Amino acid sequence: MSNDPLVVFTPSGKRGRFPAGTPVLTAARQLGVDLDSVCGGRGICSKCQITPSYGEFSKHGVTVADDALSEWNSVEQRYDDKRGLKKGRRLGCQAQIMGDVVIDVPEESQVHKQVVRKRAEAREIIMNPSIRMYYVEVQEPDMHEPSGDLERLAFALKDQWGLEGVKADLNILHTMQPALRKGQWKVTVAVHHGNATQPAKVMHIWPGYYEGKIYGLAVDLGSTTIAAHLCDLDSGEVVASSGIMNPQIRFGEDLMSRVSYSMMNKDGAAEMTRAVREGMNTLFDQIAGEAGIDKGLIVDAVFVCNPVMHHLFLGVDPFELGQAPFALATSSSLNLTAAELDLKIHPSARVYILPCIAGHVGADAAAVALSEAPDKSEDLVLVVDVGTNAEILLGNKEKVLACSSPTGPAFEGAQISSGQRAAPGAIERVEIDPVTKAPRFKVIGSDLWSDDDGFAEAIAGSGITGICGSGIIEMVAEMRMQGIVDGPGLIGSPDQTGTDRCFLDGRTYSYMVWDGSAEAGPTITVTNRDIREIQMAKAALYSGARLLMDKFGVDKVDRVVLAGAFGAHISPKHAMVLGMIPDAPLDKVTSAGNAAGTGARIALLNTDARAEIEQTVQRIHKIETAIEPRFQEHFVNASNIPNAVEPFPILATVVTLPDVNFNTGGGDNTDGGRRRRRRG
Amino acid sequence: MSNDPLVVFTPSGKRGRFPAGTPVLTAARQLGVDLDSVCGGRGICSKCQITPSYGEFSKHGVTVADDALSEWNSVEQRYDDKRGLKKGRRLGCQAQIMGDVVIDVPEESQVHKQVVRKRAEAREIIMNPSIRMYYVEVQEPDMHEPSGDLERLAFALKDQWGLEGVKADLNILHTMQPALRKGQWKVTVAVHHGNATQPAKVMHIWPGYYEGKIYGLAVDLGSTTIAAHLCDLDSGEVVASSGIMNPQIRFGEDLMSRVSYSMMNKDGAAEMTRAVREGMNTLFDQIAGEAGIDKGLIVDAVFVCNPVMHHLFLGVDPFELGQAPFALATSSSLNLTAAELDLKIHPSARVYILPCIAGHVGADAAAVALSEAPDKSEDLVLVVDVGTNAEILLGNKEKVLACSSPTGPAFEGAQISSGQRAAPGAIERVEIDPVTKAPRFKVIGSDLWSDDDGFAEAIAGSGITGICGSGIIEMVAEMRMQGIVDGPGLIGSPDQTGTDRCFLDGRTYSYMVWDGSAEAGPTITVTNRDIREIQMAKAALYSGARLLMDKFGVDKVDRVVLAGAFGAHISPKHAMVLGMIPDAPLDKVTSAGNAAGTGARIALLNTDARAEIEQTVQRIHKIETAIEPRFQEHFVNASNIPNAVEPFPILATVVTLPDVNFNTGGGDNTDGGRRRRRRG
């Protein structure tokens, strides 16, 4: 035995001795080295490519001779002629170990490979999808030993892949017999590995070796938009991303108005269920079209959403979510099939819906927790998913708290007089001159500031149409910084502010941002009512975060992560001036992008992550803001800009806010009494 | 402890001591005594009724005082007032053990009660259905400890019933929240206990205590008819039985013609699948209507059928079953849902299809094996399920062999000149006078013989319309016994037979049974071609049985069981004269009725029986008649009446067959060359 050649695999470092002539793939399997193969070592799939290294390896104590592996064979030659093998590569199932050798397994040849992600700080995704493909050779039927074709297929999976007790979806029975015969008893099957409620099953069958791919969808079902990533289930790569407006918007902009719709209209909930599922199918058509793939190859889908969307998508009346005690029908994760949800992808595609955390903290928040992993953080992190409803997580590896807070749609540009969705023409960045009090801004579609040369030409196509969510945040913060609006949220008069841009507009003042009348475009102003809307939205968000800090027993957080598509565009400084987020070093406020969508993608590509988040949500402590008296107090304080009582010492080192008060005795402007409970 | 009262349960004999005041139900549960309860001891369901016995019980060493149980309480009084409690009965959950006592658990209070069956020799059915009802009290939601309603329901099932990890069908999510609130957090649920491919799940929910019943269907899906029993899943009782013609008949009378239809017509298989499923739904409407129940309460269904029907029902093209090697798509049992098969019963009703034995020996044969249990027989039993295709089982507890044989539709009256289905007006019993050679007969619808007084009046409604399957068997056997037909199957001339009832009819002779012309009814004759059809059918059946005997290494069997609706009407003597079944004592030839249907019913009512038959079919050795050279030889010999070479010594002690031969040299009448291969 000790004379047998030694093989050392990198990067795993696993090593062992094997008789001369052992294929590299066989050695890898025996050592538990992660080396992929779909065809089971038959020289068909080329997934088991490896790179032998030659020469002296003192680190491993091995000298590799030129003839350490068997010669390049005809199977490798055929594959190279047909598809080209990278220089230095061999097929692991063909190359035999003849002498001591060091074998590198490149990332793409690993089953559990790491998915390359653009964002540097993002957690890595290790491939471990719930559905994989296997090539098998099936015994032919024999009249003397009658058995079903399916039973022989299952035997082949057990015999050739060690997969025990695999059953089949009913649709497999409809296609299996012709496929087996067309492939001359060699077939490729897609096998779902099963879970707590679904046994392992063959989902699809192709005659012979199937060279194509199978796909999965990671879907973030929001109240306003539905966004999906189509992923290759082998590489993990996103092959297309797409989004549509949630068609339920016609039943109500925010969630509470949809819950009301279902209460006021018989079959209202069913109507909304139909709408969202139809929307889903439209989106899936769109994304499959973009990627140029057959929808029938989408075999897995993961969904994240808030509780109301969760219920409506499942066909559950959200009635109970509209009133205390906000009881979810179910908080567990769900394993379903596409057919059960009327989704027109692969007929038996699997569907996984992440668990909900509580009646107001949904599977989307769970997905954010999966993506941003506050439960694994050394320092104390506040994760805020900014949307019509904000989901807030606070914690570290010791403990994680969660709540939601009804911010309303102001951050999406709704209920703001010149507000609009983020689209070309919308003001997204703002600076107000300390002396002239005049704003300069950028609009979506151009990188130029409004006072740069060529700005007018650059935006000629879109015009200047309104202010989007991130724009309004910067606008209000700049107005506060330059003394146009005071702490309680009142816009000053021309006298008080020293600019004619402030003008009497009914009983309060408004601020003129852009007079479009010369170009027949809209005139863009910020009214005092707009300020109120932003105050309420940011106060809801802040008071939720502050409540969690109380419960955690802290006065400050180490870092803040802004999640949500919108969170990506928020300027940390302006958000802090507004008092939307707690005081923190600006470089400790980062954006995670669509973290909910990322969480969905992680769960799609790695089934272990599903088990992980199911465990994690059990440990997250949920805070119901509606029954916490201090929430109201925090809310009232947070209505001030940045806050009536809390100091922002770190902010103070960066920005000095003018100490102005425009109230001349006409009333209380904190507006705490106008508080509404909104969900959505 | 030793001073605690002693309680002895009968009939189990289980005994133990319990502190005074322990409810009888609690004691029963702790001792593992089979005492039913749906409400969990809350005095609602009355399922736990018991009968205390008083006085001296030397057998148990117990003296039971009058106050051995607590006094009759208000719950019992209320129940008695409302529904009446049988004399001497107590509610096990209310009556407390106060002194030594002997408690009898009546059959109807046992969960695993035995179902009363009409047929004396039938195997008993012990209730153990896959779906049971449970009453639970669920914790109300709490904002401080958010959890889903379903999770609290699952906790109640675990806490109050010891059911671990029960999930829910998606439709439960649609109805659960209103049900919980309407029932004030008390509900009754139907729980499917799960199996290899389906986890335990709540299937239905009712507010409060549900007093109604749930049902299951046992369905025998035959080529010609579909028959169903609707069973109460608590008592096991058949509450309605019904049948319809298989609507696939329009695509072909026998199975091979349906396989051909699918080969010749694009979408032919799909058309037949649709037809049989629609037929099923018609039948289920009919049977639910008969029983006066809501179809939505049918939560379980078991199907048995031959392989071609099996595939067509599942939506699998039966193409492969039409040609060697007759490969089944799957031979395993299947656990599906009603929705997957387009069956309109409870939306998530479970469906179980018994395993198939081989390409020609289907789930119907497996059901016969379950019902007649040849694998448990001490003596060697031949079980023949007589139909368009005969399934034959031969075995004892050592070994069981199986085959099928294509008898064709002659036994159902088809392809017989005066043949008809078993219906009023059909001749079903025949005796031919040894002297006059005139027949007397009975027709379906009357108990009188045709030469009895009042016969004409008794049958006036139906008339005499033809001969059914069992009638033609008796007719041909009687013709052979009275020398009208010879061993090779030739009808003699008037001279040879001594009766003018034999008349030249083309090139051969026919036998006049009934001249209906006087009453403008049909004239009923037996032609020599009719004899040929019967010869081929019975030869197919016998040669299959004989082949199994060869393989078993025996020349005779201890007993014969005739299964199938038709088998119930066959006269053993005439069947043996015909040489349809092997020689055996007449009292050892019995009828099992619709054994396939009974097997389906056993599997419906007892999940252990499902596991049992899945094991049993693995051990049944399948013989493919098509590839056995001796089958042809047996077939040719068996074309003779009763047989060209085999002696029937036991038959000879009962009947002496005349040694006649009507062949005057015009050719060979064994007709072995006309053999067809038919399936169906």
The per-residue pLDDT for range A462-487, each reduced to its tens digit, is 899 999 989 999 999 999 999 999 99
Between strands B114-115 and B125-126, the pairing is antiparallel
Mean per-residue pLDDT, A599-627: 94
What's the pLDDT at A255?
A: 82
Mean per-residue pLDDT, B211-224: 94
pTM: 0.88
Q: How confident is the model at residue B391 (pLDDT cuts 50, 70, 90)?
A: very high
Share of chain B above pLDDT 90, in %: 78
Q: How confident is the model at residue B652 (pLDDT cuts 50, 70, 90)?
A: very high
What's the pLDDT at B114?
A: 82
- A168 lies within 8 A of chain B by CB: yes
Contacts of residue B336 in chain A, CB cutoff 8 Å? 170
- A504 lies within 8 A of chain B by CB: no
- B331 lies within 8 A of chain A by CB: yes
Q: How confident is the model at residue A517 (pLDDT cuts 50, 70, 90)?
A: confident
* Interface probe, candidates A185, A272, A328, chain B, greatest B C-beta count within 10 A: A328
How would you class A558 by CB atoms within 10 Å of its CB: exposed for 0-12, middle for 13-18, buried for 19 or more? middle
Angle subtended by helix axes A528-552 and A469-481, to nearest 10: 90
Topology (CATH) of A367-409+533-656: Nucleotidyltransferase; domain 5 (3.30.420)
Share of chain A above pLDDT 70, in %: 96
Check pLDDT > 70 for residue A534.
Answer: yes
**Between residues 147 and 166 of chain B, which touch chain A (CB distance below 8 Å)?**
147-151, 165
Residue with tokens 């089949």: A168
Check pLDDT > 60 for residue B680.
Answer: no
- A167 lies within 8 A of chain B by CB: yes
- A391 lies within 8 A of chain B by CB: no
- B629 lies within 8 A of chain A by CB: no
What's the pLDDT at A396?
A: 97
Check pLDDT > 60 for residue B666.
Answer: no
Q: How far apart are CA B120 and CA B645, in angstroms?
A: 37
Q: How confident is the model at residue B673 (pLDDT cuts 50, 70, 90)?
A: very low
Q: How confident is the model at residue B124 (pLDDT cuts 50, 70, 90)?
A: confident
The per-residue pLDDT for range B407-460, each reduced to its tens digit, is 887 887 788 999 998 889 999 999 999 999 999 999 999 999 999 999 999 998
Q: Which two tokens stand for residue B104?
A: 């009898």
Mean per-residue pLDDT, A24-37: 93
What's the pLDDT at A673?
A: 40
Check pLDDT > 60 for residue A58.
Answer: yes
Is A146 close to B624, i.e. CB distance below 8 A?
yes
Q: Which two tokens stand for residue A183?
A: 């492939």
User: Any idea what DSSP says for residue B594?
Assistant: S
Collapsed DSSP state (helix, strand, coil) of residue B525: strand
Contacts of residue A329 in chain B, CB cutoff 8 Å? 148-150, 173, 176-177
Q: DSSP per residue over A150-172, as a string?
A: HHHHHHHHHHHH---S-EE-HHH
ipTM: 0.87
A137 min Cα distance to partner chain B (Å): 16
What's the pLDDT at A672?
A: 40
Q: How confident is the model at residue A335 (pLDDT cuts 50, 70, 90)?
A: very high
What's the pLDDT at A208?
A: 96
User: In the CATH hierarchy, which top-level class contains the domain B115-207?
Assistant: alpha beta
What's the pLDDT at A619?
A: 94
Q: Which two tokens stand for residue A57?
A: 């390896």
- B315 lies within 8 A of chain A by CB: yes
Q: Which stretch of DSSP H or E encloses residue A283?
A: helix A268-291
- On average, the pLDDT of chain B sits at 92
Contacts of residue A320 in chain B, CB cutoff 8 Å? 149, 177
Is the separation of the CB atoms in A320 and A326 below 8 Å? yes
Q: Quote the Cα angle for B113-B119-B121, to 5°.
A: 90
Q: Which two tokens stand for residue B237?
A: 């009782």
Mean per-residue pLDDT, A481-504: 96
User: In the CATH hierarchy, which top-level class contains the domain B217-353?
Assistant: alpha beta
What's the pLDDT at B168?
A: 96
How would you class A383 by CB atoms within 10 Å of its CB: exposed for 0-12, middle for 13-18, buried for 19 or more? buried
Is B177 close to A148, i.e. CB distance below 8 A?
no
Check pLDDT > 90 for residue B83.
Answer: no
Tell me which of 3.30.2010.10, 3.30.420.480, 3.40.630.40, 3.40.50.2300 is the CATH number of domain A218-353.
3.30.420.480
- B323 lies within 8 A of chain A by CB: no
What's the pLDDT at A2?
A: 67
At residue A131, what are phi and psi to the nearest 5 degrees? Answer: -125, 130
Collapsed DSSP state (helix, strand, coil) of residue A208: coil
Identical fold for domains B6-109 and B115-207, yes or no, is yes
The per-residue pLDDT for range A240-275, each reduced to its tens digit, is 999 999 999 888 877 888 888 998 998 999 999 999
Q: Is the peptide bond before B178 cis (omega within 30 degrees of 0)?
A: no
What's the pLDDT at A678?
A: 45
Mean per-residue pLDDT, A277-295: 97
Q: How confident is the model at residue B679 (pLDDT cuts 50, 70, 90)?
A: very low
* Interface probe, candidates A147, A348, A401, chain B, greatest B C-beta count within 10 A: A147
Q: How far apart are CA B214 and CA A331, in angstroms?
A: 29
Is A332 close to B148, i.e. CB distance below 8 A?
yes
User: Helices in A359-510 by DSSP H: which ranges?
Assistant: 363-372, 455-458, 469-481, 494-497
Contacts of residue A176 in chain B, CB cutoff 8 Å? 329
Q: DSSP per residue over B542-558, as a string?
A: HHHHHHHHHHHT-S--S
**Between residues 188 and 247 of chain A, which touch chain B (CB distance below 8 Å)?**
196-197, 199, 201
Check pLDDT > 50 for residue B74.
Answer: yes
Q: How far apart are CA A599 and CA A610, in angstroms?
A: 10
Domain ranges of chain B: 6-109, 115-207, 217-353
- B619 lies within 8 A of chain A by CB: no
- What are the C-alpha distances in Å from A162 to residues A158, A622, A657? 4, 42, 68
Radius of gyration from C-alpha coordinates of chain B: 30
**Between residues 343 and 382 of chain B, which touch chain A (CB distance below 8 Å)?**
356-359
- B327 lies within 8 A of chain A by CB: yes
Residue with tokens 């899936």: A284
What's the pLDDT at B2?
A: 66
B310-314, B418-422, B528-532, B649-653: least confident range: B418-422
The per-residue pLDDT for range B142-186, each reduced to its tens digit, is 988 889 999 999 999 999 999 999 999 999 999 999 999 999 999
Check pLDDT > 90 for residue A124.
Answer: no
B331 min Cα distance to partner chain A (Å): 5
Q: How far apart are CA B91 and CA B527, in angstroms?
A: 69
Mean per-residue pLDDT, B26-40: 92
- CATH of segment(s) A116-207: 3.10.20.880
Regarding predicted confidence, which is higher, A504 or A197?
Answer: A504
The residue type found at A375 is D
What's the pLDDT at A597?
A: 92
Is B315 close to A173, i.e. CB distance below 8 A?
yes
User: In the CATH hierarchy, which top-level class contains the domain B6-109?
Assistant: alpha beta
The residue type found at B60 is H
- A146 lies within 8 A of chain B by CB: yes
First to last CA, chain B: 69
The per-residue pLDDT for range A5-18, each reduced to its tens digit, is 999 999 999 999 99
Q: How far apart are CA B618 and CA B616, in angstroms?
A: 5
Q: Quote the Cα angle for A256-B178-A407, to 5°.
A: 15
Quick one: closest CA in B to A323, which residue? B143
Collapsed DSSP state (helix, strand, coil) of residue B598: helix
What's the pLDDT at A674?
A: 43
Is B329 close to A356, i.e. CB distance below 8 A?
no
- A629 lies within 8 A of chain B by CB: no
What's the pLDDT at B116?
A: 64
